Amino acid sequence: QVQLVESGGGSVQAGGSLRLSCAASVNSSRTNSMGWFRLAPGKEREGVAATGIGGGTAAYADSVKGRFTISHDYAKNTGYLQMNSLKPEDTAMYYCALGEYIASWARLRADSYDHWGQGTQVTVSS
């Protein structure tokens, strides 16, 4: 049973930064992809960032390009989402997800992933 545990959420003022972490209970695999998604009240779930653990170009939603950076530490089985220049519209519950053999074009699609964390809340005040 794969478990993903997110941490690092919190409350910040606009313009601030947070770094989310996602620790996996299984060893990293070069065939895996990790994605970060968010869900805000009244909005649809949005794929924020994703990357292949084995490498490749990361994918970002237009709304976060240039502000968020996804990374992964293979040895620690942990993924990260560095969020800078946060805006009130970034307020949401953030989830990490893990999947296998996901094509690069599908990495921001929630239905590409098999395993999900419980989420961590990010609140950005103006």
Q: What is the pLDDT of residue 26?
A: 86
Residue-wise pLDDT tens digits, 14-40 = 999 999 999 999 888 888 999 999 999
Strand partners, 124: 12
Residue-wise pLDDT tens digits, 95-118 = 999 999 999 999 999 999 999 999
CA dist., res. 126 & res. 118, Å (int): 26
Residue-wise pLDDT tens digits, 57-100 = 899 999 999 999 999 999 999 999 999 999 999 999 999 999 99
What does the CA dihedral 95, 5, 85, 67 come to, rounded to 10 degrees? -70
Residue 28 dihedral angles phi and psi, to the nearest 5°: -65, 150
CA dist., res. 70 & res. 50, Å (int): 7
Q: What is the pLDDT of residue 118?
A: 97
